[in-house]
Amino acid sequence: MTQPGTLILIMAIAVLAPLLAYRVNRWVPVPLVIFEIVLGILIGPDVLALAQHDEFTDGLADFGLAMLIFLAGYEIDFAAVRGDTLRRSTGAWMISIAAGLGIAFALTGAEVNKSFVIGTALTSTALGTVLPILRDSGDLRGRFGTVVLAFGAVGEFGPIIAMALLLSGRGAGESTVLLIVFAAVTAAAVFWALRPRPPWFARIIANTLHSSGQFAVRYVMLLLAAMLGLSHAFGIDVLLGAFAAGVISRLILHGAAPESSGEILGKIEAMGFGFFVPVFFVVTGINFDLKALLDGGRALVLLPVFLLLFLVVRGIPLYLLAPSDLSRRDRTALTLYGSTCLPLVVAITTIGLDDKSISSSEAAALVGAAMVSVLVFPLLALKFRSGRGESAADRAGHGEGSDRPSRAGEASESW
């Protein structure tokens, strides 16, 4: 099918998926991403062969992934997740990467490149997928939501750093130097973002917020483009730049126009979750090698193995290092949310396929296991948290979490 026809099909699925999710969610809350990926597989070359990925749709999908990581970076309130919680989340991820690489080396017979791909993929958390679920359940702004946000943020950021160090194709020394330079530039950008904005900056944001000017939205997109370009110039994965852009954008907007920051984010989310992010997930389905997963049997055996390893490598350190004030049920829910993965698994396996570090069947097994994690783990976590969403009084007492009020129906938009 021609390129415009493929895009029309992708957008048709983007419209159909929330309708299906709305109907199914009356009985069981299934994340919207599952419908997007499964329908993408359905129209892809291995089933109905109605759509083929091409350079144009792949480009849109890449930007969709960048938008997803950007929004995850924007959601992080470092004032809420710093201190002991941040130390625990960092420690948990360090244990995960050590365990992941160790298990991967054992599974692959010490094949270095393949072990780096598999080991890194086992350590990620799909924070962008988990956040809407937390919002809808009333957990995001409470103590539990703050902890999930901290552990999930490190689960997004840590694998991106590991990708830059282990999967760049350069020597470890060169990658480390480039990463340090990039971190220094990013730190300077954060310092600049913390400086007070001139009065005219807030005025032009307010004056163009509901006009065709949309200064704030354009400014945020400029920051995103600049950080993506900077990471590309340093030869570092662009997802690191997207994450940094989200953090910097939050600091600037909350400092310059706190009363408008929520509405501005709503506009960015509408652009991301309304177009670019669903394109990423549908194209993920189209690109999914279903034939490799079903042929031969090995990939089908690997799928439950990888699903279990997500829980072992990522989940167990979360349970062990969770803050002591969390109950056993909350620790279990944190383990399940933290073991939920997909976007970074797709990105990591794509790198592995491009440099021929892993086979298509191994990539299909990893992505398939990640898809199952998105479907199963959050549902189980909701069961453990059932009836435990914190009240407004509890949230006020903690004083932690997102400073943006929950919006009705937002989960269905983001899923």
Per-residue pLDDT tens over the stretch 286-341: 988 888 888 767 888 899 999 999 999 999 999 999 999 999 999 999 999 999 99
Gap between the Cα atoms of 59 and 261, Å rounded: 29
What's the whole-number mean pLDDT along residues 112-141? 84
* pTM for the whole structure: 0.81
> pLDDT tens-digit profile of 166-179?
776 666 677 778 88
Query: What pLDDT does residue 90 have?
Result: 92
- Confirm if 348 and 333 have CB atoms less than 8 A apart: no
Top pLDDT among 225 and 401 is at 225
Helices (H), 77-213: 78-81, 84-108, 112-121, 127-137, 143-166, 172-194, 199-208
pLDDT beyond 60 at 107:
yes
What band does 412 get if pLDDT is binned at 50, 70 and 90? very low
What pLDDT does 149 receive? 86
Compute the half-sphere exposure of residue 55: CA atoms within 13 Å on the CB side of its CA.
0
pLDDT at residue number 8: 93
Count the neighbouring beta carbons within 10 Å of the beta carbon of residue 193. 19
Distance (Å, whole) CA 371 – CA 249 = 30
Mean pLDDT within 151-168: 84
In 3-state terms, what secondary structure has residue 363? helix
- Phi and psi at 174, nearest 5°, equal -65, -45
What CATH number is given to the structural domain containing 308? 1.20.1530.20
pLDDT tens digits for 350-404? Answer: 888 888 889 888 999 999 999 899 889 988 998 888 755 543 334 434 443 334 4
What is the spatial distance between Cα 235 and Cα 358, in angstroms, rounded to a whole number? Answer: 22
The mean of the pLDDT values for the chain is 84
Q: Domain residues for 76?
A: 3-414
pLDDT of 172: 64
Quote the pLDDT of residue 400.
38
Q: How many domains is the chain built from?
A: 1
With a pLDDT cut of 70, the percent of the chain lying above it is: 90
Q: Is the pLDDT of residue 414 over 60?
A: no
Q: In this structure, which amino acid lies at residue 240?
A: L
* Closest to 274 in 3D by CA, of 84, 95, 89, 413: 413
Q: How much is the pLDDT for 388? A: 59
Residue 323 host element (H or E): none
CA torsion sign for 55, 38, 70, 178 is negative
What pLDDT is recorded for position 10? 95
pLDDT band at 407 (very low <50, low <70, confident <90, very high): very low
d(CA 142, CA 399): 8
pLDDT at 190: 82
| 231-268: pLDDT as tens digits | 888 888 788 899 889 989 988 988 888 888 889 989 99
Query: What is the per-residue pLDDT for 187?
Result: 86
| Alpha carbons 406 and 411: distance in angstroms, whole number | 10
Query: What's the CA gap between 86 and 147, in Å, rounded?
Result: 9
- Identity of the amino acid at 52: Q
**What per-residue confidence (pLDDT) applies to 408?**
33
Q: Average the pLDDT over 57-70 and give the result.
A: 90
